[in-house]
A and B are shown apart, each in its own frame.
Chain A
């Protein structure tokens, strides 16, 4: 008993543990309430998703860890992680998951939530701006290639105006174009 009620003793770990009471226990329910999050709690941490992932070897948080973090309520860590934005959306994790957890879709949901809170990496924000301004991500620049292939210099019938209007008046415009 003396060991447990004395406050003088040195900390058991040098690293301060994550205090669960500071986390957001409702995060799990929030993700679960989204159409793709239905099977979130089915995860039993087999790490199949991480084994399948072609990019996770350079991630700090592996896919299975992201799922665990959602379940534990580590909302800020998940939504500010770079990993959710680096996902290649190859859907390997989701295809292989033995418990039918929609891992990729859940990562999409996280991106949407992060975007709503303005937590968007600069590169992604720039892409979104480009879309808003030009209505397309890849503008034709090297037209000599088209010339060599006997194609017209401009894409025939390309009209980005309607698309830009849609983007401006929907979420993309609201989140990144609001100045």
Chain B
């Protein structure tokens, strides 16, 4: 369904249909963000490209809150958006202008993050994918481009998302499991932020986009050659959205305690193993008269 839409939007279905489609496919594989936004809704573009790191009026995420940009001079805004090309890929002037206009006019409270429909997705096996695709055509475009080979996405499953997150299941492209750096409910790595309430801060499509494109500090390079598939991103989003209230996860392992215990045991083994070590031979000499 999404595929058809996409191809129509480029409007080139002609004689060598398949060949063109295939070459387009490679084109999009190589650069997912380039050509589809011509004349698209800037809001969709904002959600796809920006909302992974920014919010409007929702407070600072990875990047700063963009509510204040409404007052920025035009040229500065233009420059700032252009600077972000490092993270988003090239933006056409039209896209930049669209974003500029969107940012100028966006009402802080109207930010999609705040009223994200992700709440409607029920914790387990919600039709999160459908949810995302119906609300945002932009996300559809991504779904096509990133998952070029997959013609249709399975419904997102919070359970498989949980498995991916916790590393019980590996990502298809071999990326790190999230738990290495992130935590939920205080369990997990602590190099990166806790993701328990992330669905309140980021809209579902933004979350999916964030998982897929990983435009963040360390993740950018770590997943460069291990892209997270769209389906996986949908699953992760479903899982993260399901984390509303404290979740019953495996007990937090007492790493420090076990570590100290281990060290203590080794010391004990040393003391025991070498209890018969040589002390001064002279101390063995007993005086006999």
Task: Say whether A associates with B.
Answer: no
B interface residues with partner A (beta carbon < 8 Å): none
